[in-house]
Amino acid sequence: MIIIFTIIWALGFYWFTAVKQTMRHHIAYGIICLIFLIANVTAFVLHDNYHLGMTTQSSVRTQQLSSLSPRAKLLAYRSLGNGKEKVYVYKTTTKDKTQHTKADTNATTKVSITSTKPQVKVTTIKYRYANKLSQWMFGILSTDNETKSTNYHFYVNTDWLVLSTNQLQQMTQQ
């Protein structure tokens, strides 16, 4: 709706300042249309950059970790770029397939040593519309449920190995 209102106010401004110049109070109507046009564009930019009209919703999912290898308890990662970014490959007890963390600027990963069962805690924060008016105004932009950040926290025991994929390849060659 914000796009439709922007078009309406732009056409209104054009109509009152360029087409209907002989109309009484055309300058006042043009200024009113310009003010609403500026307000609409400002709201559009604020929504796009700062998520105006949206709130954050957090969800936490905890799953038990199982080892990638039947011979050793291990968690693997692959370094990206300069080595500070890492994509972890892991396996949970609920799924037989291996999974991996997102290679995204909005994703963070942390590994901690614990004495409890190995697990991964995935916290996802998403943007949701704050109310029906925000959904009505900005719904055409499809920004509902947009992910703000994803945090992976791996809890492993002291007997687990956390190895890079290069170290894993070297181990399999030996």
Residue 67 lies in a domain: yes
Please tell me whether residues 63 and 24 are part of one structural domain: no
Domains contained in the chain, number: 2
pLDDT by residue (tens digit) across 144-171? Answer: 889 999 999 999 999 998 998 888 888 7
pLDDT bucket at 71, cuts 50 / 70 / 90: confident
Residue 43 lies in a domain: yes
Query: What is the per-residue pLDDT for 64?
Result: 92
Predicted TM-score (pTM) of the model is 0.80
Please tell me whether residues 26 and 74 are part of one structural domain: no
pLDDT by residue (tens digit) across 23-68? Answer: 889 999 999 999 999 999 999 999 999 999 999 999 999 999 988 8
| Share of residues in the chain with pLDDT > 70 (%) | 99
Q: Which of 80, 90, 79, 81 is nearest to 155 (CA)?
A: 90
Kindly write down the DSSP assignment for every residue of the chain, as one continuous string. Answer: -HHHHHHHHHHHHHIIIII-TTSTTHHHHHHHHHHHHHHHHHHHHHHHHH-TTEEEEEEEEEEEEE-SSSSS-EEEEEEETTTTEEEEEEEESS-SS-EE---STTEEEEEEE-SS--EEEEEEEEEEESSHHHHHHHGGG--TTEEEEEEEEEEE-TT-EEEEHHHHHHHHH-
Tracing tokens 């054009």 back to the chain, one arrives at 14
Contact 12, 33 (CB under 8 A): yes
Please tell me whether residues 66 and 89 are part of one structural domain: yes
Please tell me whether residues 27 and 91 are part of one structural domain: no
Please tell me whether residues 34 and 120 are part of one structural domain: no
Please tell me whether residues 76 and 40 are part of one structural domain: no
pLDDT by residue (tens digit) across 104-158? Answer: 888 999 999 988 889 999 999 999 999 999 999 998 877 888 999 999 999 999 9
CA distance 160 to 163: 10
Please tell me whether residues 66 and 34 are part of one structural domain: no
Structural domain for 80, as ranges: 57-131+146-173
